[in-house]
Every structure is written in structure tokens, then in C-alpha cells.
A and B are shown apart, each in its own frame.
Chain A
Amino acid sequence: MSDDKEIKNRMTVRRLNVYYGDKQALFDVKLNIPNKNVTALIGPSGCGKSTFLRCLNRMNDVIEECKVEGKVTLDGENIYRNSVDVVLLRQKIGMVFQKPNPFPKSIYDNVAYGPRIHGLTKSKSELDEVVEKSLSRAGLWKEVKDRLNEMGTSLSGGQQQRLCIARAIAVKPEVILMDEPCSALDPIATAKIEELIEELKRKFTIVIVTHSMQQAARVSDYTAFFHLGKIIEDGKTKKIFGEPKSKQTKDYISGKFG
């Protein structure tokens, strides 16, 4: 029973409190992130959903005044324990950002960077293979296979974002965190990314922060609604969008505020 539960929930978050200096950003957050599903985090601006996302791979460590309390587990192990190596943790939990941020290097080097620093491949041919596989998985291979030496920054916005996804999956993560990955993209590029998320969830656990209700409804299996640093409601997406328990959720989903 407990075995089953652990496979079901790849990550768990318990009593998570986050402070930026004196200001508390998250209050006692509790959430389960189910394996090989898409979990959407929705909520009005400044509600703490991006902060929450950044707690999942300890990206907040970089911010000096940020203090995190509570327990976040990946496969049952608390990632905030001192013995946890953040470098390894971030290999297991990849991240895609709001604005596409390819390195000012070639397309090939962008994807190969992760495997290189983690020493995942032994030979050049193996690395080539990983790059090709990651790019195909991100749906970009056909478009860029003849210009792998061009700068990653020379691609269009949507292509850049898919390149960033390819870069994230090249290190073979278990979880991929996406922080509003489509907010800087046009509708066609957005559709492509959503298709991609659909594909990727077969292999990866995905947590996505989004501002778009429709997107959350389209791509996610589970949804958590944040408001003022607290989770108001979470559960299956169909249920949240179909019959929300809380009035606040209902108001937000129907566009009355936020």
C-alpha cells in the first residue's frame, strides 16, 4: 500500500513555509505531486506559485534572503536535508523558465551542456545520440538537425523554448518544472509546447505554473489553486474546474478575479 503510494506521488510537500526577509511568501503548504502526470499550479499574480515551484528543486537557495522551512520529498527523500547534493538534485528535477533562456552557444552545445557537466556520456557518439534524442523528444530535431552549430539564440521564441525543454530533458530528469513556459510565446508556439507536454508526461512528472485557465484545463491532470501564499484547493483538474469546493476557486476559474 505504501509502496503504491510512493510511486503514485513522486514528490510530496509538507508544512512548507517560505520567507523573503521579513515577508512570508508561502504558508503551511501541503501538496502531493503524482508520478507521470501533469500538475498545474494556478492562481493570481504574486500568490506564491512560482516561489513554490522554485522550492521543488531548491532554486531559492540562490536567493540570499530567502528562507525555506518544511519538508519536500522526492521519492521519499527530503531534498532539504543537508546531505542532499543540490547539483544531483537539479539533475533529477529539471526546470524550464518563463522566458526562453538558451545559452549564447550553439544549439548542439545548449543541449550537450547538461550531459557534459554531469558526465553522463562517455563518448562523442553517445553525446550526439543524447542530443538527437532530446531534440526529437522536444519536437525540434527536424527543424534544427542541419544547423546544430548555429547559435541557440538565433532560433524563434517557440523554438528557443523547445530547445530549453530539450536541454532540460537531456540530463534525464525525473521531474520537469515549468514556470509559465508559454507566456512569452504566440498561440501557435504555445500549442506546440502543449502538445509536447502531452508527450512528455508519459516519461516525466511535470509541474507547470500557468496563468491561463484554459491551458491548465487542457494539459493538466491535477491542479492546485494558490491564493495569497496558501493552497486553497487541489485535486484532479476535472474536479477543480468542474465542481470546485471553494468559492474563491470558483470565482477565480470563472474569471471574477485575478
Chain B
Amino acid sequence: MTKKFKLKSGKKKHAYLHKRHNKEIRFQLYGITAMLISFTMLAILLISIISRGYTAFVKTEISLPIEFSESVLVPDDDADYGSLVKESLKKMFPEASGRSDRMLLYKLISNNSSYRLKNLVNNNNNLIGKTVDVWFFASADVDIFEKGYISREIEEDSRQIKDKQIVWLDKLKEQGRLRKVFNTTFFTEGDSREPEQAGMLGSFIGSLFTILACMLLAAPIGVFAAIYLEEFARANVFTDFIEINISNLAAVPSIIYGLLGLAVYLNFFGLPRSSSLVGGLTLAMLVLPTIIITTRNAIKAVPPSIKDAATALGASRMQMVFHHIFPAAMPGIMTGVVLSVARTLGETAPLLMIGMVAFIADVPKTMIDPATTLPVQVFLWSDSPEMAFVEKTAACIIVLLVLLAAINGFAAYIRNKFEVKWE
């Protein structure tokens, strides 16, 4: 009766206990190691992207005193604004006398300078006849040189920036005519062949239109299909068959949906190639199974007692579904839809098939304009030979990752905030 259980006793007697404890500790160590490895990988990824990309948010500008001489600007329409820049450069650096030297000199400034001057004059006619300091984009080579990507140590032949240019640039810097400012161009312009003029707005808007088109189609169809399958359809061989196939479709590689979109939307329906509408419709097919599955799970998570309660009160099946089940499942459904938005934003391969991979300089204004999306822009820029596009690519990835993180955070917020508490 009074025999006590001994907790402390010889090691030998409780050898099995030690074994169990050791197993436990080993298992925890495995877990911690796995966590550490995955966090290290994530950190390496983020650090390498950010360290490469952050410079793209800054751009180099050069200011030149521009004489808006009447003789050049009066024949209004075909006024040679470019010559104003060239004149100014020539005046500042008279030592550049030969043809090749002048070419090098002109190359310091981005080739959109004449366009900028034209805009200035159009907005302010008073400029004519005056001499004003104007800030121009430095060319991409100058930009990355100033950011330290091109070393002065390299031999001149294999350097994009020549010795003479370096001398001029240093002079400009001394005079305070060279500055680094926040790169608004990156956020306000479409793509360009010139890295210093390229921006991600076009692909950003393209992404927005694509997501909009995709969700307008996929969200209602997916949600209602799920509600029907879960609450109205009778369980039989046919619905079983549909169910299995929905799960299978969710696992089909995305590129195949791209081919399907190409065949159906472009070849059969003849919708405009490269448009975000077609991109959205194609991605809608891709996310539809996911939306159906997440919605069904959200509906399944609603306790059956609520269905009983509504049915016993005399609610019809539709009232039961739309007054009780649908609202209670809404947070889960929304989470699924928001995560599908994230997937739509990140998907690339199917868009390549329907021609959204073209170079498009204009920011799309409607869904049927040719467009690209952010991940496709990353793909395009990463393919470009210019060195200056490397940082642009990384910067575009940063923007994409920030957006994805924001969307996923929003999904988590919805889940926590609106989750129905049953007890």
C-alpha cells in the first residue's frame, strides 16, 4: 500500500528513460538545425537581392547650363533641342575637339535630354533667350560608374567609361554639377531600351490589370462552384469524379495552362495577344482549382451544428447557406482568394505562352493594351546584356517581394481579424 514510486534511482535501472530523453533532445536538435538552414538560405537570398538592388532606387543626374537661344528654338516644331545640350557640353569642355572625343562627351548624358528640354520649354515659354541650369539623367554607364560598379583600375579598353570621360565627370563633380537623387523614374515610367530611363510602372499596372481580370472571373466562379459542390450537389459518382479532377487540375504545371490560354483565348476567341485580359483569363484557369479547394475547406470548417440550428428554425437550404455558412466561411474564403492573388502576381510561365513577354515601353491604359507583369519584367531585364539592368532586375524583384509579403500579411490579417469564434 505505502510502496512509493522512486523517481530518483540508479542509472542502470532507468537506462530506457535516458534513452528516451536523449532521443527527444536529438529530435529537437534536428528541428533547430533545419530551421537554421532554411533561415540562412532566406537571409542569403534577401541580402544578395537587396545589396544588388538598392542602388536602382538612386540615379545620377548631371546639370548643365543651357542657353535657350532664340535662333535654335524659334522654328517651333522641329527645333533641335539636342543641339542645346551639345553646345553646352562643348562650351564646358572645350578640350574635347575631335569627333570621337565629342561622341564620348555627348554620351555622358542620357539620350532623352532633348525630350526633357522640349517639355521644359513647352511648359514655360519665358525660358527662351535665357540661360538656365538644367538637371539631366546621366547615361546608364555613367550612372553605374558613379555607383562604383565600374572600377577605375580596369584597363581602359575593357571599361565602358573611358579615361577622358572620368576626367570630365570628376570636373563636373567638383563644380557640384553631379548629384544622386531618388530614382522616381523607376516608379513612374514604363520599360525602355535605355536602362536609366526604364521603369517598372508598365509591368506594375500590367500586373494589376491581370490580377483584376483573373479575380473577376476566378473568384465568383470558384466560390460558387465550391458552395454548390459542398452544400447543394448530391454525392454520387459524378460529383466524386469532379472532385478528384479539381484536385488533379490544381497540380497541373502552369505552363500547360499557358498553352491552353494560347489555344482558347488567342486562337479560338481571337482576343488581343499580349494583353493583360488574356493573361488574367489564363491565370484564372490556373487558380480556379485552388480557390475551389480552399473555399470548400472553409465551408467544411463551419460546424454542422450551425446548419442544424438554421434548418430546425425552418431556413431553406439557400437561406442556411447564405445567412450562416457563407458568412462564417468568409474569412477562410477571403484568405484563399487573397493567396490566389499572390499566386497570380508571381506566376510567369503561362504568360510567356500568350505573348506577355514582349518589350512594351508604354504603360498600359486598359486591359486590352499589350502589357507585361512584374515577374515577366524581371525575366526580361535579367535577360538584357546591359550591366545597368542588373540592379534594375534586383530592384524589380524587391518590389515584387514586398508586394507578395504585403498580400500574404493581408491574408493573415483577414484570417485573424474576422475569424468566427464558435465558443
Contact = CB atoms under 8 A, between A and B. Distances in A.
A119 B312 CA distance: 16
Interface string A46-61: 0000000000010100
Nearest to B308: A97
B305 interface: yes
Contacts of A88: 314
A191 B314 CA distance: 29
A248 interface: no
Interface in A29-68: 57, 59, 62, 64
Given A113-B323, A153-B421, A90 B311 contact: yes
Contacts, number: 67
B315 interface: yes
B309 A117 contact: no
B247 interface: no
A88 to B, nearest CB: 7
A167 B312 CA distance: 10
Interface residues of A, number: 28
Which 3 residue pairs spanning A and B have beta carbons closest together?
Answer: A95-B312, A101-B305, A90-B314
Contacts of B319: 117
A90 B313 CA distance: 6
Interface residues of B, number: 23
23 contacts: A59-B308, A87-B315, A88-B314, A90-B311, A90-B314, A91-B314, A94-B312, A97-B305, A99-B305, A103-B310, A103-B324, A104-B306, A104-B421, A104-B422, A113-B323, A117-B314, A117-B315, A118-B314, A151-B421, A153-B421, A167-B309, A167-B313, A168-B313
Contacts of B307: 62
Interface of B: 234-235, 303, 305-316, 319, 323-324, 328, 420-423
Contacts of B235: 64
A88 B313 CA distance: 9
A165 to B, nearest CB: 12
B314 A101 contact: no
A114 B311 contact: no
Given A59-B312, A153-B421, A167-B309, 16 more contacts: A89-B314, A90-B313, A90-B314, A95-B312, A97-B308, A97-B309, A97-B312, A99-B305, A101-B303, A101-B305, A101-B306, A113-B313, A117-B314, A117-B319, A153-B422, A171-B314
Nearest to A86: B314
A57 B313 CA distance: 10
